[in-house]
Chain A
Amino acid sequence: GEDVEQSLFLSVREGDSSVINCTYTDSSSTYLYWYKQEPGAGLQLLTYIFSNMDMKQDQRLTVLLNKKDKHLSLRIADTQTGDSAIYFCAEWETDKLIFGTGTRLQVFP
């Protein structure tokens, strides 16, 4: 598969908003996903968006999709120290999930 790109690192102050960006490759992807991985743990599905939507909100999480530019973002409102983790976007490609390179989010007090 081709690369799904994310910026490597993001540092935010507690209480601020975080925005994690992702550029994907397959314009035919029907679903796009965000996963969270805490240190030493497996991945946890946070949210997903169907490709015919441009926005989805789920409590503190907002997903924005720009299909023309193949750009996906995850906004976390009121970021907390418990949000510190690695965030992976992922696209469903034919018969498997392709993960992005991952963004490490660090939240400081």
Chain B
Amino acid sequence: DTEVTQTPKHLVMGMTNKKSLKCEQHMGHRAMYWYKQKAKKPPELMFVYSYEKLSINESVPSRFSPECPNSSLLNLHLHALQPEDSALYLCASTPRGVGTGELFFGEGSRLTVL
């Protein structure tokens, strides 16, 4: 299994909703990442988990809450989002923890906030 799987592929939510994005990999990778990508822009790093511990938070607003329940799973909990948070949210993983740019990306979850 050489995939990073993200669910759901599409999500539409209101500003008062609570929802979650899920990411799963079974490659034994020890670092997992959340990126946000707006249209026609490069991905921007949000969070990094290394060996299941949060190692980087790029000053992301608290309405985004990451969680790493185990080495294969990464969640992103969403609450009270704003329309400008609409974007493609990409999950990625790397084999040996933080320290390499060889990222394996999922297909992304496209989020629309109404």
Quick check: B101 and A42 within 8 Å, CB to CB? no
Chain A to chain B contacts (Cβ below 8 Å), 25 pairs:
A31-B100, A31-B101, A33-B101, A40-B108, A42-B4, A42-B90, A42-B92, A42-B105, A42-B106, A42-B107, A42-B108, A43-B92, A43-B103, A45-B102, A90-B101, A92-B100, A92-B101, A95-B48, A95-B98, A97-B103, A99-B42, A101-B41, A102-B40, A102-B41, A102-B42
**In the assembled complex, B69 has its CB within 8 A of some CB on chain A:** no
Of residues 23 to 70 in B, which have CB atoms within 8 Å of A's CB atoms? 40-43, 45, 48, 55-56
- Residue with the highest number of chain B CB atoms closer than 10 Å, among A92, A97, A101: A97
Give A residues with C-beta under 8 Å from B. Answer: 31, 33, 40-45, 48, 88, 90-92, 95-97, 99-102
Instruction: Identify the closest chain A residue to B98 (Cβ).
Output: A95
Quick check: A48 and B102 within 8 Å, CB to CB? yes
The tally of residues in B whose CB lies under 8 Å from a CB in A reads: 23
Of residues 1 to 15 in B, which have CB atoms within 8 Å of A's CB atoms? 4, 6
Quick check: A41 and B102 within 8 Å, CB to CB? no
Give B residues with C-beta under 8 Å from A. Answer: 4, 6, 40-43, 45, 48, 55-56, 90, 92, 98-108
Given A42-B92, A42-B105, A92-B101, 19 new contacts (CB under 8 A): A31-B100, A31-B101, A41-B107, A42-B6, A42-B90, A42-B106, A43-B43, A43-B103, A44-B105, A45-B103, A48-B101, A91-B101, A95-B56, A95-B98, A96-B45, A97-B103, A100-B42, A101-B42, A102-B42
CB-based A-B contact count at 8 angstroms = 53
Checking A40, A97, A100, A101 against B101 with a beta-carbon cut-off of 8 angstroms, the contacting residue is A97
Quick check: B105 and A43 within 8 Å, CB to CB? yes
> Which residues on B sit within 8 Å (CB–CB) of A31?
100-101
Q: How far is the CB of A28 from chain B (nearest CB, A)?
A: 14
Quick check: A96 and B42 within 8 Å, CB to CB? no
In the assembly, what is the distance between CA of A41 and CA of B3, in Å?
13
> Which residues on A sit within 8 Å (CB–CB) of B104?
45
Instruction: Identify the closest chain B residue to A29 (Cβ).
Output: B101
Instruction: Identify the closest chain B residue to A92 (Cβ).
Output: B101
